[in-house]
Amino acid sequence: MDDQRKKEWLEQRRKHLSRNPDELAKGIISGDKVALSRGLTLVESTRRDDHEQALEMLDKIRSNPGKSVRIGITGVPGVGKSTFIEAFGQELVENGKKVAVLAIDPSSERSGGSILGDKTRMNNLALMPEVFIRPTASGGSLGGVAKRTRESILLCEAAGYDVIIIETVGVGQSETMVKEMVDFFLLLMLAGAGDELQGIKRGIMEMADALVITKADGENEMNARRARNEYKNAMHLFPPNQNSWIPKAMTCSSYTNTGISEIWDVIETFVNQMTISGYLEKNRLDQEVFWFRETLKEMLIDNFHQTEGISQRVSQIEKSLHSGKGNAFADAKAVMNFYIAQLKDAKN
Amino acid sequence: MDDQRKKEWLEQRRKHLSRNPDELAKGIISGDKVALSRGLTLVESTRRDDHEQALEMLDKIRSNPGKSVRIGITGVPGVGKSTFIEAFGQELVENGKKVAVLAIDPSSERSGGSILGDKTRMNNLALMPEVFIRPTASGGSLGGVAKRTRESILLCEAAGYDVIIIETVGVGQSETMVKEMVDFFLLLMLAGAGDELQGIKRGIMEMADALVITKADGENEMNARRARNEYKNAMHLFPPNQNSWIPKAMTCSSYTNTGISEIWDVIETFVNQMTISGYLEKNRLDQEVFWFRETLKEMLIDNFHQTEGISQRVSQIEKSLHSGKGNAFADAKAVMNFYIAQLKDAKN
């Protein structure tokens, strides 16, 4: 490498490492993965000056919104999410799609496991130039995670990804959040209910646009089909969706690569139908309003909890309520009065 | 009636009509329906001085908490809630129970109908001395309705009712609220899914402790049984409840009085199991904490919305978000900053 080329290379490198919002936005829009990666880091940062730069960058990429299908994928640990996404992602690439995978990992609080933490689980997919995989750093409030994830989606879309997959574990509250930021919600399940189901939260089944029984291969194939039929009947009994989509029940094997392309067919059908009916756009705009309201609520509640003396009072009251003392409404009113007094005092 | 008796009668009458919290509490505890009725009116009142008297009364009845089973009953209009409660209530009375029926009626906003508005629908039940029926005035915020309903439950329990039935329509948000104030949640459904289901909100099925197919008589009996079996299979596929109760699917006819006593058997079994496991008490204490948090949230949000200039800003932003302009998070932050500034200004 001669001096001139070396200099250019270093310059290029420096630019990549730059946090200049304008350069990052340009890099992202040009499809530069390093810029995208740095942009995501900026979005995830909790530092105040990073936050301002992130806003500036987001503002700039809005000129290039991109069009994508946003797919939420959830399921308990052990259902085979990573191998499914590995197979499904390759199917998408073969269909000419650029694919981004973002993961929301609430494991720190709950399951003790880690989604995508072990990147080797998506070895082949991760190596494809058409694919971008990001194990989203989680932690913090649900609202904080939601904000970062939604901003990450925007960055990936600006970078030209056609399909954005949001992966989460179906055990906490995060899947409700994911449902509110995707176009299509896919629930992975295992055949042979019982124990494996213990982890899934009630109410998730009714959120799914499609339910896929994984590991439908070898000896398990019959079981998987039986389970698929049972769920198919069950889902038919659910109240209809607002968009009149009847949730599908399917089987797949990531191992034998069976049923994977059928899942993409279903999603494409869904997207086509919902584009024609206008539901897809309506849903996204509704989601935007939803997040505006949620964010406001969370900010109000944060401001409340950060007020001096509130936390102790609240946890004290909850403790006595748990031991059968007190009155939920009267106690809430007392805390509220204290809060307002504190706000006024803070001014003096 | 001689003068002395007339005077006594008038005195008695005056007491009944009194809003003195102490007298009301005593009257309620002694089982006086007129006192209970007036107590409920006090709880429902939005007048500030009534509110203080209500708190005093609630405080006094706490000395006599009573023991009851709280049952939530929901279903779309037309499923036969009133006739079911008529039959079910009589079954309870035959079992030696005193029964109170409270209704949450969100109809003013949504269905246009009215639960219990037409009292004649529960003619026989309403005439029984062991029964108290109250069409709760609704309207106002969900939190306000929740507060009044929960306080009404306490009054009915203090008055010695063994079973409190909370009736609601399964089309809005009120059933989520009811779920959080009862021990047992019963969903009434019609056989022959399709159109009738349109009204039921998604997610309600997974909340039910028992699902009952109504109108299982005459030509409809076979259909009802078939539907019951389908739902039974479907509910078996749901993720298990925290209390490991497997929701039951049943049929009944309020007309031929078939299957009604079996429903009470199921509820008694549930209550016995959950009393032994400690879940019943734990659930009630959890509900108390839930309502403390909900009430606080609602108070915070109310205070926010009542601040000058907020409402216009919020509806303006929601309008632009709906037309694809703006950014949920940035907009929320701007409104929040405005709110805090207003609070500080209000002090000056």
B4 within domain boundaries: yes
Domain boundary among A15, A43, A64: A64
Q: Do A335 and B296 touch (CB under 8 A)?
A: yes
Please name every residue paired with A96 in a beta bridge, in sequence order, or none if there are none: none
**Considering only residues 204 to 223 of chain B, which have any Cβ-Cβ distance to chain A shorter than 8 Å?**
204-207
Mean pLDDT score across all residues of chain A: 85
If you write DSSP's letter for every residue of B286-341 in order, what string do you get? HHHHHHHHHHHHHHHHHHHHTSTTHHHHHHHHHHHHHTT-S-HHHHHHHHHHHHHH
Q: Do A332 and B292 touch (CB under 8 A)?
A: yes
> Both A92 and A162 in a single domain?
yes
> Both B86 and B13 in a single domain?
no
Q: Give per-residue pLDDT as tens, B83-112.
A: 999 999 999 999 999 999 998 865 444 333
> Both B25 and B71 in a single domain?
no
- To probe the interface with A, which of B237, B287, B293, B337 has the most A CB atoms within 10 Å? B237
> Both B3 and B44 in a single domain?
yes
Q: Do B321 and A285 touch (CB under 8 A)?
A: yes
From the DSSP assignment, how many helices (H) and strands (E) are in chain A? 13, 7
Residue B115 near residue B167, CB atoms below 8 Å: yes
> Both B236 and B338 in a single domain?
no
Pairwise CA distance, residues A254 & A275, whole Å: 29
Domain boundary among B276, B295, B315: B276
**Looking at residue B111, what is its pLDDT?**
38
B194 within domain boundaries: yes
> Both B213 and B232 in a single domain?
yes
A221 within domain boundaries: yes
Q: Do B300 and A300 touch (CB under 8 A)?
A: yes
B192 within domain boundaries: yes
B131-135, strands of its sheet edge to edge: B131-135, B99-103, B163-169, B69-75, B184-189, B210-213, B248-251
B69 within domain boundaries: yes
> Both B59 and B69 in a single domain?
no
Domain boundary among A15, A36, A64: A64
Query: How much is the average pLDDT of A254-274?
Result: 96
Query: Which domain covers residue B20, as residue numbers?
Result: 1-63
CATH number at residue B17: 1.20.5.170
Residue B130 near residue B99, CB atoms below 8 Å: yes
Q: Do A239 and B291 touch (CB under 8 A)?
A: no
> Both B116 and B43 in a single domain?
no
Pairwise CA distance, residues A156 & A111, whole Å: 28
> Both B159 and B244 in a single domain?
yes
Residue of B241, B301, B327 lying closest to A297 (CB–CB): B301
Say if A315 is an interface residue toward chain B (CB within 8 Å): no
Q: How distant is the Cα of A344 from the closest Cα of chain B, in angstroms?
A: 6
A293 within domain boundaries: no
Say if A229 is an interface residue toward chain B (CB within 8 Å): no
- Residues of A with Cβ-Cβ distance to B201 under 8 angstroms: 239
pLDDT category of residue B228 using cuts at 50, 70 and 90: very high
**Looking at residue A284, what is its pLDDT?**
93
A286 within domain boundaries: no
Q: Which DSSP category does A189 fall into?
A: E
Q: Give per-residue pLDDT as tens, A285-312.
A: 999 999 999 889 888 988 898 888 999 9
Mean pLDDT score across all residues of chain B: 85
Residue of A151, A197, A318 lying closest to B289 (CB–CB): A318
Tokens for B185, please give them: 């949640």
A-B CB pairs within 8 A amount to: 159
> Both B30 and B14 in a single domain?
yes
Question: If 0-12 CB within 10 Å is exposed, 13-18 middle and 19+ buried, where does residue A111 land?
Answer: middle
Query: How much is the average pLDDT of B214-242?
Result: 88
- Residues of A with Cβ-Cβ distance to B198 under 8 angstroms: 239-240
Q: Do A300 and B295 touch (CB under 8 A)?
A: no
Say if A246 is an interface residue toward chain B (CB within 8 Å): no
- Residues of A with Cβ-Cβ distance to B241 under 8 angstroms: 202
- Provide the pairing of β-strand A69-75 with A163-169: parallel
CATH number at residue A158: 3.40.50.300
Say if B228 is an interface residue toward chain A (CB within 8 Å): no
> Both A53 and A166 in a single domain?
no
Pairwise CA distance, residues B156 & A94, whole Å: 66
Length of chain A in residues, anyone?
348
Locus of tokens 């019963």: B186
Residue of A58, A203, A340 lying closest to B203 (CB–CB): A203
- Residues of A with Cβ-Cβ distance to B329 under 8 angstroms: 147, 150-151, 291-292, 295
Q: Look at chain A and report how many structural domains it folds into.
A: 3
Tokens for A124, please give them: 């082949």
| E strand or H helix at B272 | helix B260-277
Q: Give per-residue pLDDT as tens, B289-325.
A: 999 998 898 889 888 988 889 999 999 999 999 998 8
Write the ipTM: 0.77
B295 within domain boundaries: no
Query: How much is the average pLDDT of A75-86?
Result: 88
**Looking at residue B137, what is its pLDDT?**
57
> Both B123 and B247 in a single domain?
yes
Q: Do A326 and B288 touch (CB under 8 A)?
A: yes
Query: How much is the average pLDDT of B189-199?
Result: 63
- To probe the interface with A, which of B197, B202, B281 has the most A CB atoms within 10 Å? B202
